[in-house]
Amino acid sequence: MPTPPQQSTGRVYLVGAGPGDPGLITLRGVECLRRADVVFYDYLVNPQILRHVPPQAERVCLGRHGRDRIMPQSEINARMVAEARSGRTVVRLKGGDPAIFGRAAEEVEALRAEGISYEIVPGITAALAAGSHAGIPVTHRDFASAVALVTGHQQEDESAPELDYAALAAFPGTLVFYMGITTAGVWCRELIAAGRSADTPAAIVRRCTWPDQETICCTLQSVADEVEKRRLRPPAIVIVGQVTQVAVESWFEQRPLFGQTVLVTRPSEQGLELADRLHELGAAALLQPAIAIDEPDDWVPVDVALARLKEFDWLVFSSANGVRYLMDRLLSHHGDVRKLENTRLAAIGPRTAETLANYSLKADLTPPEKFRAEGLAAELVSQAAGRQFLLARASRGRELLAEALTAAGAQVTQVVTYNSRDVETADPEIAAALEAREIDWITVTSSAIARSIVNLFGEKLRKARLASISPVTSATLRELGYPPAAEAASYTTDGLVEAILSAQP
Ligand code: SAH
């Protein structure tokens, strides 16, 4: 009998995810994630980094203290080997750098023993992130010419080397303790007993590069008190040495929305864009899409309209989604952009115009300001009489534009180019955060979203401030009994972000 073809063995990539901020992973790390069939990730890894993983890939969280089952190291090794054997590309994604207190050596040994090929992709370790994001450089021309990375975690494994406190106390440079929060009392006492001055300046840097980063300057003697008084939980590093005296308030903590948590309720893809913008300004952005967008229930009316496109003088888009769904349909079923040769294009606002530009199309008309149906109507009515208009709209939307154009003598055809429906259940973690007043702002970018969040959260909405994109949305919020705390002056997401910024103390 012929032997079955040998299945080729997959590869394992041990990838450093960096300290938390999703932008702080290497390009090589992202390349590995993009080709992964299965990703084993630590709970310290920012889940946003998993955005790079193909949707069909399997994601395995290796556990979080007090929440899930923690997978023992032997089982992690065995699963990586088994996955690679079956021909899959495996990414083992670790917080920081895989080789700094990351058990890279043990995993490599297991892979080598089984003849599995592997690659290690470095990451930014927590101590280095303190230099960029917490204003504490671990080396300094005047204060420290050497750095030691130390574990504050007493190994359960008795064969592991004990810390030599005398040597550490005498170390001529900066000491950075990892995993030393719950054990701070012990190692600080030992260091002092071994001769390091109790007054040595120190800093605790918690959740470095995350939106809730904290930096606490203290002395070696007071580390444990600070941990207790502030009930600090891991992950945090403790930096011991003169360099902590040069700590300045970091650019990172000075960003205008640092410390604020904003809930973004737009549908996923656009929600991500707004979340990125808020993140850049320092906020923690959470996502709870209040509306889901998908294909229209029926493409026939759209196809009929697209088939007679040349009869229309104007094609009017009142959202970026409208552009995307209509243009994708045109390109997949009706030819290409030349079909629009004789049709003028109107866009409700700059985002819609930008989305047209992604299809190499220029809007002939965008209202000069305000960006809502009234503005578009005002611009179009003067040239409406006797003209044919095609309006690309959502399954629910305002009738204002169609009515205004018809009243001005136009022939109006409306087609539903995408379906918008309410999301019916809230993510329980988001609901709990809202209840606990951990969310400062909720963005409300349409009346439909206003109604949906009231269904999703009800009275809990009073525990955060609502930021509305326009007077129409604000009016809906007021009608529903939840008046907004801020309203955009320009009815775009940029305007909304501006409104939140100006409402800061
Ligand atoms: N491989 C990781 C370290 C893993 S050990 C790295 O290179 O960073 C886990 C410890 O790392 C935590 O207990 C904490 O001491 C430290 N740590 C990881 N991420 C951190 C962060 N964002 N801020 C502060 N400390 C962090």
Domain boundary among 124, 151, 181: 124
22 plus 98 within the same structural domain: yes
Full pLDDT tens readout for the chain, 505 residues? 555 555 688 999 999 999 999 999 999 999 999 999 999 999 889 989 999 999 999 999 987 655 566 788 899 999 999 999 999 999 999 999 999 998 899 999 999 999 999 999 999 999 999 999 999 999 999 999 999 999 998 654 555 678 999 999 999 999 999 999 999 999 999 999 999 999 999 999 999 999 999 999 999 999 999 999 999 999 999 999 999 998 788 999 999 999 999 999 998 778 888 999 999 999 999 999 999 989 999 999 999 999 999 999 999 999 899 999 999 999 999 999 999 998 999 999 888 999 999 999 999 999 887 667 778 888 899 989 999 999 999 887 778 889 999 999 999 999 999 998 999 999 999 999 999 999 999 999 999 999 999 999 999 999 999 999 999 999 999 999 999 999 999 888 899 999 999 998 7
* Number of residues written out for the chain: 505
119 plus 151 within the same structural domain: no
Nearest 5°: the CA angle 435, 437, 439 is 105
The CATH number linked to 490 is: 3.40.50.10090
The CATH number linked to 156 is: 3.30.950.10
156 plus 222 within the same structural domain: yes
314 plus 380 within the same structural domain: yes
The response to whether residue 152 sits with its C-beta less than 6 Å from ligand 1 reads: no
CA distance 54 to 40: 14
The response to whether residue 176 sits with its C-beta less than 6 Å from ligand 1 reads: no
The response to whether residue 380 sits with its C-beta less than 6 Å from ligand 1 reads: no
Tally of structural domains, the chain: 4
Strands across the sheet containing 214-219 = 147-151, 174-178, 236-240, 201-206, 214-219
The response to whether residue 178 sits with its C-beta less than 6 Å from ligand 1 reads: yes
CB of 277 closer than 8 Å to CB of 493: yes
- Which of 179, 210, 232 is the best mutation target for the ligand 1 pocket, counting ligand atoms within 8 Å of the beta carbon and taking the most? 179
Distance 234 CA to ligand 1 centre (A): 8
CA distance 473 to 424: 20
- 218, β-bridge pairs: 202
Phi and psi of 334, rounded to 5°? Answer: -130, 15
The response to whether residue 205 sits with its C-beta less than 6 Å from ligand 1 reads: yes
Q: Is residue 114 part of a domain?
A: yes
The response to whether residue 451 sits with its C-beta less than 6 Å from ligand 1 reads: no
pLDDT of residue 211: 94
Q: Is residue 6 part of a domain?
A: no
pLDDT of residue 193: 97
Domain boundary among 101, 124, 147: 124
The response to whether residue 217 sits with its C-beta less than 6 Å from ligand 1 reads: no
The response to whether residue 209 sits with its C-beta less than 6 Å from ligand 1 reads: yes
76 plus 192 within the same structural domain: no
Phi and psi of 37, rounded to 5°? Answer: -95, -30
The response to whether residue 21 sits with its C-beta less than 6 Å from ligand 1 reads: no
427 plus 282 within the same structural domain: yes
The response to whether residue 448 sits with its C-beta less than 6 Å from ligand 1 reads: no
Q: Which two tokens stand for residue 434?
A: 């809202």
- Which of 42, 101, 150, 175 is the best mutation target for the ligand 1 pocket, counting ligand atoms within 8 Å of the beta carbon and taking the most? 101
Residue 170, number of CB atoms within 10 A of its CB: 11
Q: What is the dihedral of CA 265, 269, 279, 503, to 10 degrees?
A: -40
The response to whether residue 44 sits with its C-beta less than 6 Å from ligand 1 reads: yes
The response to whether residue 166 sits with its C-beta less than 6 Å from ligand 1 reads: no
Distance 139 CA to ligand 1 centre (A): 19
Distance 273 CA to ligand 1 centre (A): 28
Q: Is residue 5 part of a domain?
A: no
Name which residue sits closest to atom 24 of ligand 1, judged by CA.
Answer: 236
265 plus 324 within the same structural domain: no
82 plus 50 within the same structural domain: yes
The response to whether residue 234 sits with its C-beta less than 6 Å from ligand 1 reads: yes
CA 316 to mean position of chain CA atoms: 32
355 plus 439 within the same structural domain: no
435 plus 494 within the same structural domain: yes
Q: Is residue 485 part of a domain?
A: yes
Distance 95 CA to ligand 1 centre (A): 7
Element (H, E) at 444: strand 441-444
pLDDT of residue 72: 87
The response to whether residue 216 sits with its C-beta less than 6 Å from ligand 1 reads: no
69 plus 41 within the same structural domain: yes
Token pair 């395995």 is at which residue?
60
Q: Is residue 3 part of a domain?
A: no
Domain limits for position 139: 128-253
Q: Is residue 1 part of a domain?
A: no
406 plus 306 within the same structural domain: yes
Q: Is residue 360 part of a domain?
A: yes
| Residue 380 CB partners (closer than 8 Å, separation 6+) | 314, 316, 346, 365, 389, 401, 404, 405, 408
Distance 236 CA to ligand 1 centre (A): 6
Question: Which of ligand 1's atoms lies nearest the C-alpha of 153?
Answer: 13
Domain boundary among 109, 124, 139: 124
Q: Is residue 4 part of a domain?
A: no
